[in-house]
Amino acid sequence: MMRRASALVALSSAVLYLAALVDAHGHHQEGPADDSVPIDSILWLHILIQSLAWFILFPLAMVLGLTRHRLHVPLAVLALTLTTAGYFLGHGHGGRSFPHTAHGTVANLLIPLLMAQGALGIYLKLHLKWKAEGFVRPIIIFAHGFIGKLFSILGWLQMLLGIITLRSWCMGGRTGQCLAHHIMGSAFIGYGTILLIMLKAGVSWLSRRKSNTSQEFLDSTVIFAWGCVNALTEHHGGPWTHKDLQHTLLGVVWVAGGAAGMWLSKGGRRSVVPAVVIVITGWAMSGHAQALMISTMIHALFGYCLMAAGAARIIEVCFVLGDGPTGQQQQPDAERPSEEDERQRMDTEKQWFPIRAFQYLPPWLLFASGVLFMSATDEELRWADSYGVDHITWGLIDFSISFFLFLWANVLIDLYTSQGGRYGSARKAAASAAAAGGRGGRSAGLAESGGLRSLYSRVSMGESAPLRVDEDPDEGVASGSSGSLEMNRLEGKRAKDRGAQMNGNGTANGHHVLFDEDEGEDEEDDDPFDDERRR
């Protein structure tokens, strides 16, 4: 199966390469698209396939890759295959023609990345043995993981550009306004996503930072940096207008507020300054006068939503958490449960940290604020106004999109945590195999673990060193094929430790996943969101 998957990835990469050599189709034109010409079924199919690949499959494959789940490879191959087909459909449609846009440019830039990702995955799967493997492999592991995570961001960018291209928006002198709205709106959605990640999976990572870094310190740092950019780029020469002054002064507020938040949040202390900055920003935007009534009302709704997000964050920090750390509260040593009890509790509850219902409110309000601001450009609202859409209808559409995005973000994060975090799926498979091995032997354990051998076994030939099935998962099935560990940069230390640990409890051949398991073996390279590795 893995040979077929590798062959399919190689074929898709070759097809994409050939596609890159083909000139753009003949349906481009100068100027905006003619809306009177209908969109044909092929273009609609292109939109559907690419949305499925980049919004659903690539992020899902990324999460499954982080947890070393056996479905990571099939999903990654499916995503690559679909996006290859979608690329050709986008160049083979009839009907409405479009100008050359950033959407097409980014699509062409994605081709080498997709090819590289497929080639890196095949290399990791082959487990080649050669002199420089110990040096090259960690680099390839990092590159493969980085590109996989980057796809989520690039997919979001490409979908936004696709919508803009479909409507011929953001052309000419309107490009600057579009950039401002879509970058800032996406940033608020990204902020909400980060808060969700830290809420569900990042608490212990924060506590392990030097001086116990708090979430507000990180927030204030980003606010300070963003404010520096805004304060210096909002005026483009000529006479100052009230909008220039407002945008520039908002940048100054972010610089000053970010610096104050960094100072007050150092040493792991909680702070309300980032939330106050968000409230001030919302207040300023709620009174941002616009040419159309619908535009003024949507900007006001965005401002109210942003103020609510900041206020909810203040309530969360000060009253829900009582200035304490998010997640599990530290207990005195006498009351602290044993590691085994804690491990069993986490397996039973299927979540890492107890979360109060109110804590979901600030992230969702940030999602809603981001969507509202992205939909508030002049062109979008003029188009809505031309169809008789009022601000209530437009706002309900935005809130619906916000809930959908919020749902998908929660699904992905919950999937990550329910699988145990990084290496979690492989760790569970190893534990299941170990338990089953005691009843029916190693073969039965592998069969009951969901076909682990068929999907994760190595492609290359070679003897595998003995490996205990009950040893540290980061040194066993979850962290690497035993036959390849002697080639990594920790060869001597790992081999020595493993030899000392062998006590006849059983042996197992290593099983490999597409994202190589050697990644993160160093103490310094631990997954920031994996508490199991720290126990």
- Please provide the DSSP assignment of 70-119 as one string: TTHHHHHHHHHHHHHHHHHHHTS--BS-B---HHHHHHHHHHHHHHHHHH
> For 141-155, how does the pLDDT look when each residue is reduced to its tens digit (9 = 90+)?
899 999 999 999 999
153: exposed, middle or buried (C-beta count within 10 Å: 0-12, 13-18, 19+)?
Answer: exposed
For 203, how many CA atoms within 13 A lie in the half-sphere containing its CB? Answer: 16
For 144, how many CA atoms within 13 A lie in the half-sphere containing its CB? Answer: 26
Residue 305 has pLDDT above 90, yes or no: yes
Scan for tokens 């200035």, then name that residue.
323
* Cβ(275)–Cβ(245) below 8 Å: no
Residue 351 has pLDDT above 60, yes or no: no
pLDDT band at 518 (very low <50, low <70, confident <90, very high): very low
Per the structure block, which two tokens stand in for 427?
Answer: 């760790």
Helices marked H in 173-292 — which ranges? 175-201, 203-208, 215-233, 242-265, 273-286
Length of the chain (residues): 535
pLDDT for 210 equals 63
- CB atoms under 10 Å from CB of 24, counted, come to 10
pLDDT for 483 equals 35
Three-state secondary structure call for residue 168: coil
Gap between the Cα atoms of 395 and 294, Å rounded: 10
Residue 219 has pLDDT above 70, yes or no: yes
For residue 523, give the amino acid letter. E
The pTM assigned to this predicted structure is 0.76
pLDDT for 424 equals 75
Gap between the Cα atoms of 423 and 435, Å rounded: 18
pLDDT band at 339 (very low <50, low <70, confident <90, very high): low
Closest of 114, 110, 171, 119 to residue 140, by C-alpha? 119
Cα three-residue angle 420-424-426, rounded to 5 degrees: 155
pLDDT band at 335 (very low <50, low <70, confident <90, very high): low
> 340 or 533: which carries more pLDDT confidence?
340
For 398, how many CA atoms within 13 A lie in the half-sphere containing its CB? Answer: 30
Mean pLDDT across 126-132: 85
Write the Ramachandran bin of 128: left for phi over 0, alpha for psi from -120 to 50, otherwise beta: beta
Please name every residue paired with 98 in a beta bridge, in sequence order, or none if there are none: 28
> For 25-37, how does the pLDDT look when each residue is reduced to its tens digit (9 = 90+)?
445 555 566 666 7
Gap between the Cα atoms of 310 and 316, Å rounded: 10
pLDDT for 26 equals 47
Mean pLDDT across 518-533: 41
Residues with Cβ within 8 Å of 499's Cβ and at least 6 positions away in sequence, in order, are none
Please name every residue paired with 95 in a beta bridge, in sequence order, or none if there are none: 39
For 241, how many CA atoms within 13 A lie in the half-sphere containing its CB? Answer: 10
> For 408-442, how does the pLDDT look when each residue is reduced to its tens digit (9 = 90+)?
999 999 999 888 877 777 777 777 777 776 554 44
Cα three-residue angle 471-475-481, rounded to 5 degrees: 115
pLDDT band at 244 (very low <50, low <70, confident <90, very high): confident
Gap between the Cα atoms of 141 and 120, Å rounded: 8
* Cβ(527)–Cβ(422) below 8 Å: yes
Residue 334 has pLDDT above 60, yes or no: no
Please name every residue paired with 28 in a beta bridge, in sequence order, or none if there are none: 98
Provide the CA 222 distance to its chain's centre, in angstroms: 18
DSSP 24: P
Scan for tokens 């310094």, then name that residue.
524
Choose from 177-186, 324-333, 526-535 the range with maximum mean pLDDT: 177-186
* Cβ(531)–Cβ(343) below 8 Å: no
Gap between the Cα atoms of 324 and 327, Å rounded: 9
pLDDT band at 116 (very low <50, low <70, confident <90, very high): very high
Report CA torsion sign: 173, 27, 82, 49: positive
Gap between the Cα atoms of 38 and 358, Å rounded: 46
450: exposed, middle or buried (C-beta count within 10 Å: 0-12, 13-18, 19+)?
Answer: middle
pLDDT for 193 equals 96
Gap between the Cα atoms of 257 and 271, Å rounded: 11
pLDDT above 90 covers what percent of the chain? 42
Gap between the Cα atoms of 410 and 81, Å rounded: 26
- CB atoms under 10 Å from CB of 331, counted, come to 9
Mean pLDDT across 451-455: 37
Per the structure block, which two tokens stand in for 410?
Answer: 């929660």
> For 361-386, how does the pLDDT look when each residue is reduced to its tens digit (9 = 90+)?
999 999 999 999 999 999 999 999 99
Provide the CA 319 distance to its chain's centre, in angstroms: 30
To the nearest 10°, report the CA torsion of 300, 301, 302, 306.
Answer: 100
Q: How many H helices and E strands in the chain?
A: 20, 0
Lowest-pLDDT range, 13-22, 251-260, 518-527?
Answer: 518-527
Q: Phi/psi at 477 (nearest 5 deg)?
A: -60, -35
Mean pLDDT across 445-469: 37
For residue 98, give the amino acid letter. F
